[in-house]
Amino acid sequence: MASGPQIGSPAPDFTLPGGVLTGDTFERRDHTLSAARGRAVVLAFYPGDNTAVCTKQLCSYSSGLETFEGLDAEVWGISPQGVDSHESFARDHGLRMPLLADTGRETARAYGVTAPGIGVRRSVFLIGPDGVLRWKHVALLGATFQSLDTLAEQLSGIRTA
C-alpha cells in the first residue's frame, strides 16, 4: 500500500463518474475534486456497495448530511463498483450523497488506500476549501468507521484554522 498524500499537501485531483439520489431521480454526472474548491470535501472510500459495515457507514453519513452542510462541507462516497451498482445501493438505502465509481482504482491508488483482497481500505480524507488535505484516517481492518461526530469535530477545526 502506498502512503498516499500527507496532511498539509494538495489533495490528488480526480474526476470520477457517479451519481446522487435526489428525490426519486438518480442524477448521473462526473465529479471533479478541484471543481469543489471553496467548500470542504469529505472523501469516504469504502470497499463495497451493500456490505454490512459500508451500508451502516454511508447511511450514517447520509442521515447526517445537514451537519456536514452546516459546516460547508460535501460528502462523497468512493468505491470500486460501477455507477449502476451505486444507483441500486443509493435507492435501496436512501443515500443522498454522491457515490463515485473508481472502477480502475486509480483514485484509491493516488490516495494510498488500495489493499490486497478487499480492494480498497475503508478511509476518510478531509479536504479543505483550498484543496489541501487537512485530516485522514485509513483503517487497517475496516470493521469500523469514523463517526459523524468525529468528522464534524475535524471539519470544525478546518473552519477555524
Which residues does the annotation mark as catalytic?
54
Q: Which residues pair with 157 in a beta bridge?
A: none
Length of the chain as a residue count: 161
Which position has the grid cell 478487499? Answer: 118
* Rounded Cα distance, 147 and 40, in Å: 17
Between the alpha carbon of residue 72 and those of residues 3, 37, 38, 65, 114, the distances in Å are 28, 11, 9, 10, 29
Rounded Cα distance between 62 and 142, Å, is: 19
* Alpha carbons 139 and 64: distance in angstroms, whole number: 21
